């Protein structure tokens, strides 16, 4: 009803995708913006997104029916065609992710909507009231955009370091721990592929044998993405490296990995860790049955 939150398709779809995929796979987008908006924003948000595209043809027809808007008819028609192209693309892809497409949509829709504000100038309120409305609109917009700029800047800074950290995700990490820790901002708490940021940092702590700090970060980010269990992979490696053959700790990890039993690559890694340790063979292999 309320949706998973804007941009959370890649996170909310994992419990359903894992029933069909045979490896660790995160679907970034739905390849249909309308379905994705319903999933992200809920029923009300999805309907509002769809109705936005209905307003453009309604306003275009209104412009064509009024003679006083003849100078705007060509511009409105071209803009209507551009928005229509965007809508078709939204049925097949994810233009909402692309800045260029969003800019085109905003400009095209504005060129359709703006002439309507000039239809009945004689019926508008007096100049002082119009100025007050404009000032209030500017102040409200400024209040709303400042936190958005802050979030966007933090996300941008995170993406810059993710480029290098995620590049090492399938290899031995080479970056210095202090550099990784200093580069990640406070938000967001997930990477572009929905891996917990603290879990990524914990991987470098584990490499430098800072086991307790790594486990602390893993525990703190346990619920940041409760579907991939990336933290469990790192935690298992830490237990194996420490030669800590505690049945409760290891079995808990193995049982949780079973939730993602179709993830062959990572399940195989866990089995290899178990088989490499003689004391673990008889104790922990029953956990995987």
**Does the pLDDT value for residue 250 go beyond 80?**
no
Look at residue 260 in the predicted model and tell me its pLDDT.
52
Residue whose pair of structure tokens reads 């700090």 in the numeric block:
213
Look at residue 122 in the predicted model and tell me its pLDDT.
47
Find out whether 115 and 51 touch, Cβ atoms under 8 Å.
no
**Does the pLDDT value for residue 256 go beyond 70?**
no
- Token duo for residue 212: 């307790």
Look at residue 16 in the predicted model and tell me its pLDDT.
76
Distance in angstroms between the alpha carbons of the first and the last residue of the chain? 38
Look at residue 186 in the predicted model and tell me its pLDDT.
87
Look at residue 166 in the predicted model and tell me its pLDDT.
85
**Does the pLDDT value for residue 258 go beyond 70?**
no
H helices of 184-229, where? 197-207, 211-220
Please choose, from the candidates 187, 182, 183, 184, the residue with its C-alpha nearest in 3D space to the C-alpha of residue 151: 187
| pLDDT, average across residues 194-204 | 89
Name the residue with higher pLDDT: 240 or 280.
240
Name the residue with higher pLDDT: 257 or 36.
36
Look at residue 266 in the predicted model and tell me its pLDDT.
56
Look at residue 124 in the predicted model and tell me its pLDDT.
53
User: How many whole angstroms separate alpha carbon 197 and alpha carbon 203?
Assistant: 10
Kindly state the percentage of the chain with pLDDT values over 90: 3
Look at residue 63 in the predicted model and tell me its pLDDT.
85
User: How many whole angstroms separate alpha carbon 195 and alpha carbon 125?
Assistant: 53
Is the pTM for the entire model greater than 0.75? no
For the ranges 18-22, 94-98, 143-147, 227-231, the maximum mean pLDDT occurs at 143-147
Query: Residue 284's pLDDT band (boundaries 50, 70, 90)?
Result: very low
Look at residue 172 in the predicted model and tell me its pLDDT.
83
Query: Residue 114's pLDDT band (boundaries 50, 70, 90)?
Result: confident
Query: Residue 268's pLDDT band (boundaries 50, 70, 90)?
Result: low
Find out whether 112 and 96 touch, Cβ atoms under 8 Å.
no
Query: Residue 25's pLDDT band (boundaries 50, 70, 90)?
Result: low
Query: Residue 280's pLDDT band (boundaries 50, 70, 90)?
Result: very low
Look at residue 246 in the predicted model and tell me its pLDDT.
57
| pLDDT, average across residues 169-174 | 82
Domain spans in the chain, listed from the N-terminal domain onward: 9-124, 159-288
SS3 of 187, please? coil
Find out whether 202 and 231 touch, Cβ atoms under 8 Å.
yes
Name the residue with higher pLDDT: 163 or 271.
163
| pLDDT, average across residues 2-14 | 78
- Average confidence score pLDDT of the chain: 78
Query: Residue 265's pLDDT band (boundaries 50, 70, 90)?
Result: low
Structure confidence by residue, pLDDT tens digits, 128-158? 566 787 788 888 988 888 888 898 899 999 9
Please choose, from the candidates 200, 198, 264, 273, the residue with its C-alpha nearest in 3D space to the C-alpha of residue 239: 273
């Amino acid at each position: 009803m309320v949706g998973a939150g804007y941009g959370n398709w890649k996170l909310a779809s994992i419990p359903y995708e894992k029933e069909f995929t045979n490896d660790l796979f995160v679907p970034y987008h739905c390849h249909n913006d309308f379905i994705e908006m319903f999933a992200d924003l809920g029923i009300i948000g999805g309907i509002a997104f769809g109705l936005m595209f209905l307003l453009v043809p309604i306003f275009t027809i209104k412009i064509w029916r009024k003679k006083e808007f003849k100078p705007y008819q060509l511009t409105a028609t071209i803009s209507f065609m551009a928005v229509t192209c965007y809508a078709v693309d939204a049925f097949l892809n994810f233009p909402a992710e692309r800045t260029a497409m969003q800019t085109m949509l905003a400009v095209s829709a504005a060129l359709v909507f703006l002439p309507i504000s000039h239809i009945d100038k004689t019926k508008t309120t007096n100049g002082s009231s119009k100025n007050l409305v404009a000032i209030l609109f500017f102040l409200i917009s400024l209040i709303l955009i400042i936190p958005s700029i802050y979030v966007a800047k933090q996300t941008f800074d995170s993406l810059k370091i993710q480029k290098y950290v995620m590049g090492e995700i399938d290899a031995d990490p080479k970056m210095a721990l202090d550099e990784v820790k200093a580069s990640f901002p406070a938000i967001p708490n997930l990477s572009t592929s929905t891996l917990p940021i603290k879990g990524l940092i914990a991987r470098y702590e584990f490499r430098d044998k800072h086991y307790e700090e790594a486990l602390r970060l893993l525990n703190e980010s346990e619920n940041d993405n409760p579907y991939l269990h990336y933290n469990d992979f790192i935690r298992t490696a830490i237990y194996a490296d420490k030669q800590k053959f505690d049945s409760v700790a290891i079995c808990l990890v193995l049982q949780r990995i079973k939730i993602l039993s179709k993830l062959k690559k990572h399940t195989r890694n866990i089995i290899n860790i178990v088989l490499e340790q003689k004391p673990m063979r008889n104790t922990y292999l029953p956990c995987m049955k």
